[in-house]
Structure formats: structure tokens, C-alpha cells
Amino acid sequence: MEGTIRDPDTSSVVVGVDGSQSARDAVRWASAEAARRGRPLHLVHAADTDGRRFHLSAASVERVRRAGSELLEETAGAIATEHPDLHVTTEFSRRDPVTALHRAAGLHGTIVVGNRGLGGFNSLMLGSVGLKTAAGARTPLIVVRGVEDGTEAGVVLAAVRDELDLECTRYAAREAELRKASLRLLHVWNALQSVGNVVSMLDNIEEIADEYVERLKAITDEIRGEHPGLGVHADAEKSMSVAGVLVEASHHADLLVMGGRRSPGYIGPSLGHIAHSLVHHAHCPVLLFPRHGQDLRRKP
């Protein structure tokens, strides 16, 4: 890749830089996260000049390259002022942003993206780059939201659905410990959705509820055993809107961690509808953790 100052560490925090306010917020958040973890920060500016090579002159490509390199240098300088001990690498990529971010993260990196597009209607919601990056991510990805006032709740919130979320919950527990925060495990189940799957369940709602509570308890006990010094609280709620409950709970959290189950979609992978709602409406940053071995037929 052109203009790489230094190859990123395989477990770097990787963040996209495009000059927008959303990207600047993401860079500030990613810098603090990398410092908290003791990991390098890797800044990526993806110009997609390869994809536009038939439409750009050599002079235009050089102007794009120079502007991108200057933006990376300015951003790295600002980070050094705030986090002088943080190891920062930069990369100017000729690829499209989604490919560049996935490639930079490799197998072990964490991707951080802003929550808005560059302008127009896309500026009102998570941009297409963010959505595509989140949908195709095979490593943890964080959408930075709700950080404008800088207040901290001292809580990491983990959305728990079933036993496949154990690794995701462990990740959330480590994040809580790094922040010296407590961990809240929240399971939300939709009775109507469960009943719709099997008509005979109409007379067994309480049994279904007990089963969900037992699953949550098993994960909670596991986390408490592995992290005895961590404050862990577990709640199970019934609601017709799982996403609505999680969005409301995000008011009182510094980070919302959720297993990122995906749907194949018609033109490639896409986020499940709950994850999609959270990255657009949550009141705190949302970390999507890849659920390996997930059943794509089950859409959250």
C-alpha cells in the first residue's frame, strides 16, 4: 500500500481518517482506547484512487495523495500532543475505505469508525462506509456515538442473547476492567417473536422466560468466576422491541457490546436489524463482536 509509514501491529486499534467531524471524534475515542489497552493506534486514509484511476489524471492523483498524507500527519501530531506515549502509525491507501480498514485490521485488530457520513442525507446517520465495514468485519468493530458531552457512566453494557455470546461477554468484561467500570449484562426477549416460531408456546410463556433467565445466569456465573473483582449485574427483560430496550439502556453506559450476527443479504453481508438499529440510535459507542459459528438463518 502506498505511503505506509510503518506496518500496523496485528492487534492495533485501526481508525479511518477523512477530515470529517465524525472521523475526528472517532480518532479521539480510538486514541484513548488504544492508550487504555496499551496497543498501537493505526490511522488509515483511504483515497480509492485505484478505483477511480480511469477518471483521474496523474496530477489529480498526486494532489489526492498529498492532501491525504498531510491530513494523516496533522492527525498524528494532534494525537501526540494528547497521548505522547502512544505508538501511532499512519497509512495512505489507494484502495476503497472498506477494503483498506479490513486489511489494516488483519486477523486481530479492532476497527473504529465514526457514526456519520461526509454530507447530505448520509450525514444524518451512519454512512455507507461504516455500514459496509461493520457488516463485513471479522474482528471487533466500534461505531463511535454519544461522546459529545464527555461524561462517563462507569458502566459497560453487554447485550446477551444465548450461549454463543459468552466470548462476546468476556470481551465486554475485559473492557469494563480496563475502564474501572462495572459490567451490566442485559438479555431482552420478545415474547411475540418466540410465540410466532412455535404456536404451542402460547401456553408456555413463563417456561420460556425461565429458560432465558437460566441462560443468562449461566453466563453471569461464568463471568463472575473469571473476573472476581469486577462488579457484574444481570437483568432479563421482556419487550416487544429488543432494540428499543437496548437503546434506552445505552443512555447509562460508556460502551455497548453486542455479538454481531449477520444476514447474507442480497448483495453481500449485512447487519441484523437489532445491530443496525443500535449503530444508528445508541447513545454510547457500540462495539460489535464477531460471533463465530453463528447460524445465519436466525436473524436478531
SS3 262: strand
Length reported for the chain: 300
Q: Where are the alpha helices (DSSP H) in the chain?
A: 21-37, 58-82, 97-105, 128-136, 166-179, 191-197, 205-226, 242-249, 273-281
Rounded to the nearest integer, the mean pLDDT of the chain is 84
Q: How many CB atoms lie within 10 A of CB 225?
A: 8
Task: Say what the pLDDT of residue 262 is.
Answer: 58
Per residue in 155-206, pLDDT (tens digit) is 999 999 888 899 999 999 999 999 999 999 999 987 665 544 544 444 566 6
Query: Rounded to an integer, what distance in angstroms lies between the CA atom of residue 68 and that of residue 53?
Result: 16
Per residue in 27-63, pLDDT (tens digit) is 999 999 999 999 999 999 998 888 777 777 888 888 9
Instruction: Assign residue 196 a region (left: φ > 0; alpha: ψ between -120 and 50; beta: otherwise).
Output: alpha
C-alpha cell at 110: 479492532
Per residue in 118-158, pLDDT (tens digit) is 544 443 445 678 888 988 888 999 999 988 777 889 999 99
- When mean pLDDT is compared across 80-94, 103-117, 240-254, the lowest value belongs to 103-117
Give this prediction's pTM.
Answer: 0.85
Task: Say what the pLDDT of residue 218 is.
Answer: 94
C-alpha cell at 70: 498531510
Query: Rounded to an integer, what distance in angstroms lies between the CA atom of residue 106 and that of residue 125?
Result: 27
- When mean pLDDT is compared across 2-6, 16-20, 256-260, the lowest value belongs to 2-6
C-alpha cell at 13: 486499534
CB distance 106 to 10 below 8 Å? yes
Task: Say what the pLDDT of residue 264 is.
Answer: 53
pLDDT over threshold 60, residue 268: no
* Percent of the chain residues topping a pLDDT of 90: 57
